[in-house]
Amino acid sequence: MKERSVDLYILDQKEELKIILSILNDIVLEYDSEIKSSLNYGLPFYKIPGNKSVCYLTPHQKNSVDITFWNSYKIIDKFPQLDIRDRKRMASLNYRKAEDIDIKLIQQILDATLNHINQ
């Protein structure tokens, strides 16, 4: 059975979520050419070579999307916008509207995340 692509996954979502998912997908993939996307656990995951996870996207029923950064507990002090909730290792940003997406913040968090992964 052929694996579904992240692009098809995004196209299957509700219109409000599709726009946010598409923008976040583009931000992550354009940030670093080594980052590749795939569906894992039914969600868009972004990894670098060595199968090292960077982040993943989670659409919610209430028309919002989380971008969750791997092992972000290591950088949460630098980025108080991250919400760790009841998780021990991951923290996320939540977006309800495309115009609220902070590209620069996401790029800064990606940079910090990749620096920790590559240490």
Q: How many domains does the chain have?
A: 1
54, 71 in Cβ contact below 8 A? Answer: no
DSSP 83: B
Tokens of 63: 């028309």
Range of the structural domain that residue 48 is part of: 6-117
Phi, psi of 59 (to 5 degrees): -80, 145
In a domain, 91, yes or no: yes
37, 29 in Cβ contact below 8 A? Answer: yes
Confidence grade of residue 2 (pLDDT, cut at 50, 70, 90): very low
9-48 confidence digits (pLDDT tens):
999 999 989 999 999 999 999 999 999 999 999 999 999 9
In a domain, 1, yes or no: no
Cβ neighbours of 86 (radius 10 Å):
4
In a domain, 111, yes or no: yes
67, 96 in Cβ contact below 8 A? Answer: no
52-91 confidence digits (pLDDT tens):
999 999 999 789 999 999 988 889 899 999 999 888 889 9
96-109 confidence digits (pLDDT tens):
999 999 999 999 99
Phi, psi of 95 (to 5 degrees): -125, 130
In a domain, 17, yes or no: yes
46, 54 in Cβ contact below 8 A? Answer: yes
CATH number at residue 27: 3.90.1150.200
Tell me if residue 98 falls in helix, strand or coil. Answer: helix
In a domain, 67, yes or no: yes
